[in-house]
Structure 1
Amino acid sequence: MTFKILKRGDLQEIVEFNQPDCVSIFMNTHRIRNERKKDHLVLKKFADNLEHSLKERGLRPPDRAKLLKPLKNILEDTMFFAYLSCGLAIYLGSDWHRVYRLPIAVGNGAWVGSELNPGPILPYFDSANRYFLLSLDQHGCKFYEGSSVDGLFEIDLKGMKEALALLELVDAEKQLQLHSTSAGGVQSHPAYHGHNDGEQHETRIKEYFKAVSNILRAELRQENAPLILAGVDYLHPIYKEVNQYRHLCREHITGNVKDLDEKGLRELALKTIQPVFDQDRDENVSRFHEAKKAGRIADGTRACKQAALEGRIETLLCLRSEIGDGDNATIRQVDTIEERQIAEIALNTLGAGGRLIFVDEQIDGGVEPVAILKGDSRKR
């Protein structure tokens, strides 16, 4: 089982969702075999506590059963727990549910109310944390999504297997034509129309990489996370020639990586990308102070909300929340207004081409969140 990318449209759906009774569940999860039982027990405890909480809200037994059915189905699916990542987010509504396996820790907690809580998944969109990795291989590329803080996981991109299968089919047809010609006695060697074996081989790889690049262009059209290439040295220039993703990393991983597991790949990826992330975060904090002197900041939720609606935010800086762990399965029936407002600001910022970055300390004693405005903007 592979993972899918959480899109901006998914976040928007969560922010806008509204029903009388909604459930938001968040868990830190593990890929280690002996931790799977613990993950199952924590989620089971959430289910039991939610049953009690929804009963207290006045939901009838049939309505409770209907709302929690997707959660009960997950608990009965033992294979589900064999393919968890670092974090799990489950959203439940009447006749509606969404389940996201995430490469970031999201803490343990659940909310019941008339709206969903988008807060814990917001750090997923942190521009100075997420990255993509493409493992280059002429016999089948693999695509991964990673976090500098947590894990690296393979992503199932629609069309990748088909692109390779189509190329293999073309190769098979060429071989069939070659053998048929040889058997007929007309031609005993393949004709490459002026290309030698090496050029023909490179052309084949280039066509395959072009198909992969087209898939990435469609899948990542709203993304700004850096893409790292990994593979033997001669494949890098071939892919770079057909690359269409704007945020391709200048640095890359060289060597045969096809036999590396995700842990080994992540170690190599972090050596490449972590200095970039650290520099990016530090530079944005410095740029905030420069922008403040120039009057190009928005400070606090109200100011940031207005600037985001007008498409004036270049970078939104949010304070990273403390993430709890353990087997706590507390159900909270509290307002998530602040989280939803910040999520709306983030959505409008990302939609206007801006960036979202989480920092570990409050910036300049200001009110969270704060934003660096675009060059032609002034604080209003």
Structure 2
Amino acid sequence: MDFVFQDEIKELMRSRNDYCVSLYLPTHRVGRETEQTSIRLENLLRGAEKQLVAQGMRSPEAKDFLRPAQDLAKDGFFNRHLADGLTVFISGDLFRYFRLPIHFDERLFVGRQFYLRPLIPMLHCCKKFHILAVSRKSVRLLECTEFEVNEIELKGVPLSMQEALGYDQQSTPLFRMASQGSGRGAAPMVHGHGGGSESEKEQLWHYFQILKNSLHPYFKEDIPLVFAGVDYLFPMFRLVDVHKNTINESIEGNPDELGSLELLKRGLPLVSSYFDREKRRAIGRYMNLLGGLLTSDTIEEIVPNAVAGRVDTLFVDNDRQKWGKFDPASGQVEIHPEQHRGDEDLLDVALNQAYLNGGDVYGLDPADMPGHSGGAAIFRY
């Protein structure tokens, strides 16, 4: 699996050529479907060859132009090394492919620049969160992004309840099965959370106190934390939790029965609203500025302003294209109801230019889009 980093995306955005081919297709990591990847890629490459010839390239030149991708497809390379989606970019001076953890619809684009809108999720993929998986028998701390998960090696942290309480008893007389005094550090009375008798709940409270202290160096204030454990452990954890970004919902169930990837899969929906805050704030800001001179949902205004570096924030509809032409010299935008020969997706042009000039870009579902044109922008001035 590959990752597309900002510098690579910017290189693709800056690339302009008479012929730029962009291919997207869904793939499978395992199973019989993996054998179909090279076949589907070859079909897309045949379609690309036809479009190149239709746009003025001679057939032998088109075959040579696409040969690097054809060679890999015929070799079966993409049947053996896959993720969830494959994208291939070819121009006169560039050949790149990426196997990404994104499911793509099958698409082919030939134009003067690469079509990069499906890669928007990769622009926001590096936001981290932690999953703390706790049972009586084990403790795991996972560092996660939307697309990957790594277990953090815990040093100086007891990795089970028995180990934690054993440390406690050996190092300090703080732990007492019957301690319910009012002194500092005494366990509170805990009722109604399951998990056995009051003495067992008191043991759990001490367990989490010890975990809180030993895990503190691993927690970062700006990284959200998701707790994973059986249902009665989460309320106990919240009694001692001082992490300000702990998500209010937990991954329920015995984490000892869940691998890291499954925990990531279950944790993602819980942190999605947290990570969507910036997007929601940006949409709210657009709505507050609506009607003034700093917003527009007119493509003829958005594209030249994106090129000029005036776009602070750009929203594009994930499901729409706006075909047409843009003349950088005059700043004139020409929109067509259907794709004509030589057309570009003007939303993609605006996205590339806004991002290259330091703007924030968001791909939105149609129901979340402000405006009705498929694009909306907040201007810097």
Which TM-score tier does this pair reach, normalised by the shorter chain? 0.5 to 0.7
Asked if 1:239 corresponds to 2:245, the answer is no
Counterpart secondary structure, 1:361: helix
> Residue 346 of structure 1 aligns with which residue?
354
**TM-aligned CA distance change 1:362 to 1:279, over 3 Å:** closer
Question: What CA distance in whole angstroms lies between the structure 2 residues aligned with 1:247 and 1:293?
Answer: 36
Unmatched 5+ stretches in structure 2 = 134-139, 156-169, 172-210, 226-244, 322-339
Asked if 1:335 corresponds to 2:330, the answer is no
> Residue 69 of structure 1 aligns with which residue?
67
Question: What CA distance in whole angstroms lies between the structure 2 residues aligned with 1:144 and 1:358?
Answer: 23
**TM-aligned CA distance change 1:285 to 1:60, over 3 Å:** closer
TM-score, normalisation: structure 2: 0.58
Question: What CA distance in whole angstroms lies between the structure 2 residues aligned with 1:335 and 1:298?
Answer: 23
C-alpha displacement of 1:346: 3.2
Higher CA-based Rg: 2
Letter in 1 for 2:272: Q
Asked if 1:251 corresponds to 2:218, the answer is no
Letter in 1 for 2:316: C
Question: What CA distance in whole angstroms lies between the structure 2 residues aligned with 1:344 and 1:288?
Answer: 20
Question: What CA distance in whole angstroms lies between the structure 1 residues aligned with 2:73 and 2:212?
Answer: 45
Matching of residues 128-207 of structure 1 within 5 Å: 131-133=127-129, 145-146=145-146, 152-153=147-148
Contact map agreement 1:33 1:82 (CA 8 A) in 2 = no
Question: What CA distance in whole angstroms lies between the structure 2 residues aligned with 1:283 and 1:369?
Answer: 17
Matching of residues 267-278 of structure 1 within 5 Å: 267-270=266-269, 272-277=270-275
Matching of residues 5-16 of structure 1 within 5 Å: 6-16=4-14
**TM-aligned CA distance change 1:286 to 1:35, over 3 Å:** same
Q: 2:297 aligns with which of 296, 299, 302?
A: 299
TM-score, normalisation: structure 1: 0.58
> Residue 266 of structure 1 aligns with which residue?
265
**TM-aligned CA distance change 1:262 to 1:340, over 3 Å:** same
**TM-aligned CA distance change 1:316 to 1:240, over 3 Å:** same
Q: 1:37 aligns with which of 35, 38, 57?
A: 35
Matching of residues 51-130 of structure 1 within 5 Å: 51-55=49-53, 57-59=56-58, 61=60, 63-78=61-76, 80-125=78-123, 127=124
In percent, how many aligned pairs have the same letter? 17
**TM-aligned CA distance change 1:9 to 1:279, over 3 Å:** closer
Letter in 2 for 1:239: Y
Contact map agreement 2:129 2:224 (CA 8 A) in 1 = no
Larger relative contact order, structure 1 or 2 (CA cutoff 8 Å, min sep 6): 1
More helix by share: 1
C-alpha displacement of 1:95: 4.8
Asked if 1:285 corresponds to 2:283, the answer is yes
Question: What CA distance in whole angstroms lies between the structure 1 residues aligned with 2:49 and 2:275?
Answer: 42
Unmatched 5+ stretches in structure 1 = 147-151, 169-196, 199-231, 324-331
Report the more deviating stretch, 27-36 or 282-291: 282-291
Question: What CA distance in whole angstroms lies between the structure 1 residues aligned with 2:111 and 2:377?
Answer: 30
**TM-aligned CA distance change 1:360 to 1:58, over 3 Å:** closer
Q: Show CA shifts across 1:301-331 (max 9, x none).
A: 34334554565544322112169xxxxxxxx
Letter in 2 for 1:111: F
Report the more deviating stretch, 101-110 or 357-366: 357-366
Letter in 1 for 2:264: L
C-alpha displacement of 1:49: 3.0
> Residue 361 of structure 1 aligns with which residue?
367
